[in-house]
Structure 1
Amino acid sequence: MFLGLRISILVLILALAGLLASAHPATPVAGPDRHTPERFTPDSARIRNSKARARNKRLYDSIESKTSRRAVPRMLYYLLFVKPVLDTTENGQFLDETRALMPFAGKTISGIEISRQEPFDENGNWLERTGNKLHMITREQVIRRDLLFEPGDEFDPQTIVRTKQLIRSRDYVSDIDIDVRPDSLDTTCVNLVIRTRDAWTITADGALHSEGRTMVALSDANILGTGNKLKFITNFNRQDFSYGGNMVEYEIPNVLGSFYTAAFNAGRSFYSSTLDLGIRKEFIRPTDYEIGLTYNDIKDKRYMIEQDTSLLVKERNLDAWGGYSHFLRRINASIYITGRYNYNRVSRRPEVGPRYNPALHDQDALLVGLGLYRENFYTANMIYGFGSREYLAAGFKAEAVAGYSWGEFSDDAYLGLSFEAGGFCSLGYVMGGATLGSYIEPGNGMWQRSAVDIDLRWFSNLFLLRRSRIRQFLAFNYTQGWNRWEGSDESIRFTRMNGLQALNEYAIGTNRMILNTETVLFSPYQPLGFRIAFFGFADFGLLGYSPNIFKNEFYTSFGLGVRLRNERLVFNTIQIRLGIAFGKNGPVDSEYVRLSNYTRVEPYRYRPTRPEIVEFE
C-alpha cells in the first residue's frame, strides 16, 4: 500500500515538473475519439452538436405546443419537463477566451450596454415564475461598478476576461457574457453588450450543536438589488427554547465602485461574542495596489488540540496591510512588495508560558513580503461546479517574507519562502506549491516553531461515458514541523481540508502526509434544474511525531456519495456521503453517514495577498 502511495506521489511530482518546465501553460487539443479525454471541441464537432441541439429543441417545442391546449397534459408537461440550462462551455473544454478577443485588441471601446436577466426562465414553471416575482434584479449600476474598463478605453482582451471572472465571482450573479460588436460607423471602435443572469440570493440555514444549542439563519446576498449581503442569525436552546443571542453580518462588496470591500459582523451566541469590522482592497490588475484594515474583538471557544478539548478565549486583534504591484512587460509578470502590521492581545485564556501555548501570547508583528507573480484565466466547467462557467487561474507566485515580532515572553525574527504554480497540460490541470517558514531567535540564530507545507493537486480532462462525464481528482499534502513548542497550535491533526473524509478518530502529531483521490461522475439528467454528481473516494494518511513519515500511524477511508446543485440558487450544494475508515488494526471511529451543505473548493489563485506566517494546521 505504501508503494502505491509513493507511486501516486511520484506521478504528481513528475506532472508538476513537466508543467513548470514550460514558460506558458500548454493548450489542450482534442482527442481522436470518444474514449480519450475531452478537451477543445473541433469545429466539425461543434456543428454536429449544434444540429443535434436544434433537432432536440424542435422536438420539445412540439411537445410543449401540443400539451398546452388542455389543462391535464399541460400540468403533466410542467411536472416532467424544465427549460434546459445552457451549457456555455462546450462540454467541459478548457478555453482561453482571450484568443477569440485578440482581433479587437487595441480598438477603442465606444459604448457599453448592460442586459440583465432574472434567475429563472420567464416562461418556466410556476415555481420559477414565482421566484422571479419575489426576486429583485441586480441594479445596472451595480454591474457597471465592477467593470475594469469604460467608454474611451483601449480594448484589452485580458481585462475583458478579468472583468468576467470578477463579476462571475459575485454571489448574486450566476453567469455573465460579453459580446463584442464592431462599430458600423468607425472601424477603430467596438461596442460591448454585457449580459448577466442573476442568482437566487435569499436563503435559510440552520445547525444543531451539542448541549441543545441551535442556530437558525436567514440571508440575502443582494439586498434590494444593491449587491450588498445581509445575514441575520438567531440562537436558542432546543431543549427549553431559551434565548441564545443574535448575530448580524453585513458586507458591501464594492463600495461606490472603488473595489473596496467593507464588512461588519456583531452579536453573540450563548457564551460567544463577536465584533468584527474591516475594509480591504485586493490586487485585481497586473499593476495595482492592495490595502486593508480590520479590527475584531472575539470571545469564543478554541480547540486545544493536545488536550482534545475546547476552552474559552477572548482576544482583540488589529491588522493593517498594504502593497503595490507593477507589471513588467518584458517578462510578462508583475513584481510586488507588501507590508503588514498585526497587534494581538488575549485577555482571557488558558495557562501560558515562555514555551507554552504560544498562539495565545500577546504580540506585535511586522512583516514585509517581496515577490513575482503572473495570473491568467481560462474558462471551463464540471470541475468545482456542476456545469456553469468557471474561471480557473494559470500562473505562478514566488515570494519571500521577512519580519520581526515583539512577544510577551521573547522577541523573534521571522523568515519564510514560498512558491506555487499551476496550469493546463496534456494530462489536465496541475497545481503545486511549497512553503517554508520559521521564527529565528536573534541571540543564537536557532530556528524555532518551524514548518514546511507541500501541496500537489491534479484533475484530469473530462472522460465520456455514454451521456455522462467523468473527472478524476488527486490531492497530496505533506506538512512537517520541527522545534515546535507545547500547547495550542503546536501539533497538527487531520482536518476537513487536509484529512480523510470518513475518519473521525482522534490523532495528532507534527508530521502528516495525505493522498486524497476522488472520481466524480456528472449525470446528464437535470430534474427541476438540479444537476447531479455521483462521487467515490479513497483517502490515505500518515500522522505522528516520528521524523520518518512512514513510521507514523496509518489511516485510510473509503466511500461514495451524491451531490445536488442548482446553479441558479445561492444554496450550497447538498451532499449525502457514506464512508468507513480503517487503521493499521482494522476499523476505527468513522463518520459513516454525513448530510451536509457541501461548500465547493474555490479555484486556486496566484495573486499576492498580505504577508502571512506559514500555517501549521
Structure 2
Amino acid sequence: MFVRFCILFMLLTAAMSASFAHDAAPEARSPKRVISDSIRPRTPGRFTPDSARISNPEARERNRRLYDSIRSKTDRRRVPRLLYQLLFVRPVRDTTNSGRVIDESRMLAPYEGRTIGEIAIDRRQVFDADGNWLERTGNKLHVLTRERVIRRDLLFRTGDRLDPQLIVRNKQLLRSRSYIADVDIAVEPDSLDTTRVNLRITTRDSWTISADGALHSEGRTMVGLSDANIFGWGNSLKLMTNFSREDFSYGGNMVEYQIPNLLGTFYTAEMTAGRDFYNSTFEIDMRREFLRPTDYELGIAYSNDKAKRYLIETDTSALVKQQDFDLWGGYSHFLPSLRSSIYVTGRYNYRRFSLRPEVRADYNPALHGQDILLMGAGFYRERFYTANMMYGFGTREYLAAGYKAELTGGYSWGEFEDNMYLGMTYQAGGFLSIGYLMGGFTLGSYINLPNGMWRRSAVDVDLRWFSNLFMLRRSRIREFLSLNYTQGWNRLTGNDECIRFTDENGLQALKEHFTGTNRLILNTETVLFTPYQPLGFRIALFGFADFGLIGYSPNIFKNEFYTSFGLGIRLRNERLVFNTIQIRLGMALGKSGLVESEYFRLSNASRLEQYRYRPTRPEIVAFE
C-alpha cells in the first residue's frame, strides 16, 4: 500500500503544474440549493444515478487523451503495464450534481396510489465488463450479490399501492448495505394498464473483501480479513488473529458474523466470539428496527465480556468481567392528521459483574450490578432527501429531515439501592435556506425515592449545521459546524462519573487527556471542493478550528480552555482502487501554550454516520 501511494503521489505531483490551468470545468449556473420537483430523463439500459456530467467536453477529452497516451506507452513493457493496471481503473460518471438537494418522492408523486406490477432486478458488477486487467480480475473474484438478497430487502411487493416516500426509504435502506455501492429504482408506466406501474431496480455491487490491522498497547497486534458479502448472500464475516509484536506469541482469534436481513424478516443477527490475550468476548443479538411510519421493533441481546477498562479518575486500567442481557420492543402508528407517528417502547436490562475494581454505594456506580426497566413514548417523523458533496465528493447521499420527541421513565433495582429514572429527548433537523440544521438535547436523572434526591444527572446538547455550497471562482465551498455541551451534576465518584474529550466530541489534533463534569466543544471545518481534476483526481482542501472548555466548575467559562487547528487535503480518483486519502496537519494549544498534539496524520477519510430521527430502544442519557 505504501509503495502504491508513493507512486501515485509522484504521478500527481508531476501532473498538477501542467493540468491545473486546463482542467477546470466552468459551471453553467450558480449551484444554489434547489428542491427539485422533477427528474432528468435517464438513458435506458444504463446505470446512471441522479447526477450532472462535467460541463466542459474539452476537459473530458483532454483527460481521455492523456489516459489513452499513458496506457499505450505502458503497454509496451511488462512492468509499466502491471503498474498501470494496478493503479488505474475505469472512470465513472461525475455525480457532483452541483450540490443540489432533491426530494425524490415528489418526482414519483404522479404515480402515487398506482398498483405495482412487475419488479425487475438488474444487478451490476463492481467494475465495467470491458475494463482493464485489474477490473476484469476483480469482477471474476467478486461474487455478485444474489437477486433474492436484493428482493428480500424490498419494502413493497407486486400488488401493493405505490408510496413515493416508501420507495425513497427503500433506496436509502439498500444504499446502507455495505455490499451495495449504488441503487436506482425506475418507475415505468404499464403500456397496457394505466393503473399499473412496473419497477426496475438497478444495483451496483461494492468490493467487499478487505484486510485490517491494528497496533495496540503492550505490544499487542491484530491482523484481520473480512468479506461483507459471503457467497453473494449479503452476510459479512471477519476473522482476526492476535499476536505479540515483541516475541510473536499467539494471543487468540476473534470472529464476527452478521446477517443483515435474516430470511427476509428484516431482523439483523450478529455474533462475536473469541479472545485477544487477556480480553475475551461472546456476544449474540437479534434485532429489528423501525422501517416504516407504522411498524414495530424487537430485539434481544446477550454478552459475556472480559476486557481491560481504563479508569479515568485514577488514570489506571483494570480487568472487568461483565454479563449483560437485554430485551426490548416497541410499536409505532402513523397519524395522517399530524403527518407523524406516535410510538411506545420498552426495555429490560440485566447487568452483573464477576470481576471488577472496588465498589461502594457511592463509588464506581457504573460497575454496580442492576436490573432496570425503562419505558419510552413520543412522536417522530422522518423523511429522506438526496444530495451530495456533503461528506463525499459526489456520491449520492441520503439525509433525513424530521424530529423526535420522547419521554423516558423507569425503575432500577440496584446492588446497593433502588432508584427511579426520568428523562426526555428532543431532536429536529432539516434543510433550510441557510443549509442543513440539526439540533437536540437529552436530559436525564436517577431519583432516590426514600429522600427524593436527584442523583447522577446529566444533560447533553448537540447542534450541527452545514451550509449550502458557495462559489469561489470555479470552486465550491461548504462550511461545517458542530456544537456539543455536556454537563453532569450530583455525580458520584469513580468510573464514568467524569468526562473527557473523545473522538466524537473533542479536538482533532489534541492527544492529552483532560477530565471534568462540564464540557463545551465547538468544531468548525471549511471544505473547498476544487474544480481541478489532474489525472482525474478530485481534490478537496479543508481547514479546521476546534475550541473546547472542560473542568469541574458549574460555570463552563471558568474551566480550562483548549484549541486545535490545522489544514489538510483529501484526494479521490474514481479510476483508482484506493479510498479517499486524507492528509492532515494540526496542533493544539492550552492557556499555558502548546500541549501534546497529533501534528501529522495520514488516513482514509471515514464517512460520518448520517443523522436519524427514528426511535430506538430507551436509553439512559449518556455521560461520556
Normalised by the size of structure 1, how large is the TM-score?
0.89
Does the CA contact (< 8 Å) of 2:52 and 2:97 recur in 1?
Answer: no
Give structure 2 stretches of 5+ with no counterpart: 1-26, 43-50
Change (3 A) 1:99 1:416: same
Farther-moved stretch of structure 1 (525-534 vs 243-252)? 525-534
State how far apart, in whole Å, the 2-side matches of 1:501 and 1:601 are: 15
Q: Does 1:380 align with 2:379?
A: no
Are positions 1:504 and 2:548 aligned together? no
Q: Which residue in the other structure is 1:132 paired with?
A: 139
Map 1:396-415 → 2, pairs under 5 A: 396-415=403-422
Q: State whether structure 2 residue 126 is matched by structure 1 residue 119.
A: yes
Which one-letter code corresponds to 2:407 in the other structure? A
Per the TM alignment, residue 86 of structure 1 is displaced from its structure 2 partner at its CA by 2.4
CA apart distance, 1:126? 2.1
Given that 2:54 and 2:60 are in contact with CA atoms closer than 8 Å, whether structure 1 keeps it comes out as: no
Which of 201, 217, 221 is equivalent to 1:214? 221
Give the corresponding residue for 2:239.
232
Cα offsets for 1:52-72 (capped at 9, x unmatched): 466766777788889998955
Q: Give the aligned partner of residue 582 of structure 1.
A: 589
Cα distance per residue 1:42-85 (max 9 Å; x no partner): 99999996694667667777888899989559969979975332
Deviations 1:466-490 (A, max 9, x none): 5543211000000000000000000
Structural mapping, 1:63-142, within 5 Å: 71-72=75-76, 83-88=90-95, 90-142=97-149
**What is the identity, as a one-letter code, of the residue corresponding to 2:548?**
G
Go from structure 1 to structure 2 and tell me whether the alpha carbon gap of 1:439 and 1:273 turns closer, same or farther (over 3 Å shift).
same
Q: Distance in 1 between matches of 2:133 and 2:389?
A: 28
In 1, the alpha carbon distance for the partners of 2:100 and 2:421 equals 44
TM-superposed CA distance for 1:386, in Å, is: 2.6
Deviation at 1:130, TM superposition (A): 1.7
Segment of structure 1 superposing worse, 479-488 or 565-574:
565-574
Deviations 1:269-291 (A, max 9, x none): 01100000000000000000000
Asked if 1:258 is matched to 2:265, the reply is: yes
Shift of residue 444 of structure 1?
A: 1.6
User: Would you say the 8 A contact 1:264–1:277 is kept in 2?
Assistant: yes
Is it true that 1:479 corresponds to 2:490 in the alignment?
no
Query: Does 1:552 find its partner at 2:583?
Result: no
* Residues in 1 aligned to 2:91 and 2:30: alpha-carbon distance in whole angstroms: 26
Match of 1:595 among 602, 615, 621: 602
The aligned amino acid for 2:198 is N
**Residue aligning to 1:424:** 431
Cα offset for 1:209? 1.7
- Which of 282, 303, 306 does residue 296 from structure 1 map onto? 303
Q: Which residue of 2 aligns with 1:203?
A: 210
Q: 1:211 to 1:65 in 2, by over 3 A?
A: closer
> What does the per-residue CA deviation read over 1:430-475, in whole Å, with 9 as the maximum and x for residues that have no partner?
0000111000001121100000110000001112345543211000
Alignment CA distance shift 1:204-1:125 (3 Å)? same
TM-score, scaled to structure 2: 0.88
Q: In the TM superposition, what is the alpha-carbon distance from 1:522 to its structure 2 partner?
A: 2.8
Change (3 A) 1:234 1:106: same
Corresponding position of 1:606: 613
Q: Work out whether residues 63 and 536 of structure 2, in 8 Å CA contact, stay in contact via their aligned partners in 1.
A: no
Query: Which residue of structure 1 aligns with residue 457 of structure 2?
Result: 450
- For 1:602 and 1:112, the matched residues in 2 are separated by 31
Query: Counterpart of 1:20?
Result: none
2:196 corresponds to 1:189: yes
Hey, what's the Cα distance between the residues in 2 that align with 1:213 and 1:250? 23
Q: Is the 8 A contact 2:383 2:401 kept in 1?
A: yes
The one-letter code of the counterpart of 1:438 is: S
* Alpha-carbon distance, 1:138 to partner: 0.4
Q: Report the Cα offset of residue 34 of structure 1.
A: 5.9
Q: Report deviation, 1:604.
A: 0.4
Q: 2: CA distance between counterparts of 1:295 and 1:106?
A: 43
**Code of the aligned partner of 1:191:** N
Determine the structure 1 residue equivalent to 2:324. Answer: 317
Q: Distance in 1 between matches of 2:72 and 2:501?
A: 60
Q: Is the 8 A contact 1:316 1:346 kept in 2?
A: yes
Which runs of 5 or more structure 1 residues have no equivalent in the other structure? 1-31
Whole-angstrom distance in 2 between the partners of 1:94 and 1:412: 47
Cα deviation 1:238-270 (Å, max 9, x = unaligned): 111110110000000000110000000000001
123-132 or 403-412: bigger deviation: 123-132
User: In 1, are the aligned partners of 2:88 and 2:577 still within 8 Å (CA)?
Assistant: no
Count of matched residue pairs: 586
Letter in 1 for 2:552: Y
CA contact (8 A) 2:121 2:202 kept: yes
| Maintained 8 Å contact 2:91/2:575 | no
Decide which of 150, 155, 158 is 2:162's aligned counterpart: 155
Q: Tell me the equivalent position of 1:348.
A: 355
Between 1:534-543 and 1:58-67, the stretch displaced more is 58-67
The aligned counterpart of 2:251 is: 244
Amino acid at match of 2:547: F
> Where in structure 2 are the equivalents of 1:24-35 lying within 5 Å?
none
Residue 315 (structure 2) pairs with residue 308 (structure 1): yes
* C-alpha spacing 1:282/1:210, structure 2 compared with 1 (3 Å): same
Q: Secondary structure at the match of 2:99?
A: coil
- SS, match of residue 91 in structure 1: helix
Q: Secondary structure at the match of 2:143?
A: coil
The alpha-carbon distance between structure 1 residues 202 and 523, as it changes in their structure 2 partners (threshold 3 A), is farther
What's the CA shift for 1:384? 2.0
Q: Distance in 2 between matches of 1:105 and 1:148?
A: 15
The question of 1:172 aligning with 2:179 is answered yes
Residue 360 (structure 1) aligned with residue 367 (structure 2)? yes
Matches within 5 A, 1:262-273: 262-273=269-280
Q: What is the letter of the counterpart of residue 337 of structure 1?
A: V
CA distance in 1, matches of 2:85, 2:242: 39
Q: Which moved more, 1:477-486 or 1:78-87?
A: 78-87
C-alpha distance in structure 2 between counterparts of 1:597 and 1:49, whole Å: 26
Task: Using the TM superposition, give the Cα deviation of residue 550 of structure 1 relative to its aligned residue in structure 2, in angstroms.
Answer: 0.5
Task: Report the Cα distance in structure 2 between the residues aligned to 1:198 and 1:511, rounded to whole angstroms.
Answer: 46
Q: Is the 8 A contact 1:64 1:77 kept in 2?
A: no
1:34–1:464 CA contact under 8 A, matched in 2: no
Structure 1 residues 239 and 445, CA, compared in 2 at 3 Å: closer, same or farther?
same
Which amino acid in 2 is paired with 1:332?
Answer: R
Match of 2:549 among 539, 542, 555: 542
Q: Name 1:27's counterpart in structure 2.
A: none
More displaced stretch, 284-293 vs 497-506: 497-506
Q: CA deviation at 1:230?
A: 0.2
Distance 1:569 1:65 in 2: 16
Change (3 A) 1:63 1:235: closer
- Return the letter of the residue paired with 1:174: A
For 2:555 and 2:60, how far apart are their aligned partners in 1?
61
Deviation of 1:408 after TM superposition, in Å, equals: 0.3
Question: How far apart are the structure 2 equivalents of 1:374 and 1:364?
Answer: 32
* 2:404 counterpart of 1:436: no
Q: Distance in 1 between matches of 2:245 and 2:67?
A: 48
**Counterpart-to-counterpart distance in 1, 2:275 and 2:494:** 27
